[in-house]
Amino acid sequence: MKEISELLFPDDICYADDHEWARIEGGVVTVGIDDYAQDQLGDIVYVELPRIGDTFERGEEFGTVESVKAVSELYIPVGGEIVAINSDLEDSPELINQSPYGDGWLVKVQPDDEAEMEELMDKEAYIVYLKGME
């Protein structure tokens, strides 16, 4: 596992305390797991995602990710309706390890309330949070 200083945390992303990230573009929120989470999990071998049209409240479990080490629940950082899923992960779950903020995204959400994004952490706050977990 890498040191926190070796991990990538883009500035244009918000972070949840359970290690999901969220980026809003054009009123739609893209969600994934961050570099810290994928590093802790190790090689990801399976992802279970919701269906398009499913709705979730902020903080609800929306899927699972399975690695060689463990199965972890995924929690939605903003409530709303799933408008897209990354179907590439069905055949290539390792995309999460290779590109957690790019090709390894999980779902896209039409948020019920964009203001929920403001309750997530920015890069600096998230790094402080991670260092507090050590």
Please calculate the CA angle 25-63-74 and round it to the nearest 5 degrees: 70
Whether the CB-CB separation of 130 and 40 falls below 8 Å is answered with: no
| Average confidence (pLDDT) over 81-97 | 97
Average pLDDT over residues 40-64: 97
CATH number 2.40.50.100 given to 4-116: yes
Residue type, 74: L
Which of the pair, 134 or 132, is modelled with greater confidence? Answer: 132
pLDDT at residue 9, rounded to an integer: 97
80, 111 contact by CB (below 8 A): yes
Q: What's the pLDDT tens digit per position in 26-37?
A: 999 999 999 999
In 2-122, which ranges are continuous DSSP H helix? 35-41, 88-91, 95-98
- Predicted confidence band at 106 (pLDDT cuts at 50, 70, 90)? very high
Residue-range domain boundaries for the chain: 4-116
Give the pLDDT confidence of 1-45 residue by residue, as tens digits.
Answer: 899 999 999 999 999 999 999 999 999 999 999 999 999 999 999
Question: Is 119's pLDDT higher than 90?
Answer: yes
pTM, to two decimals: 0.96
What is the per-residue pLDDT for 38? 96
- Quote the pLDDT of residue 74: 98
pLDDT reading at 134 higher than 80? no
- State the pLDDT at residue 111: 98
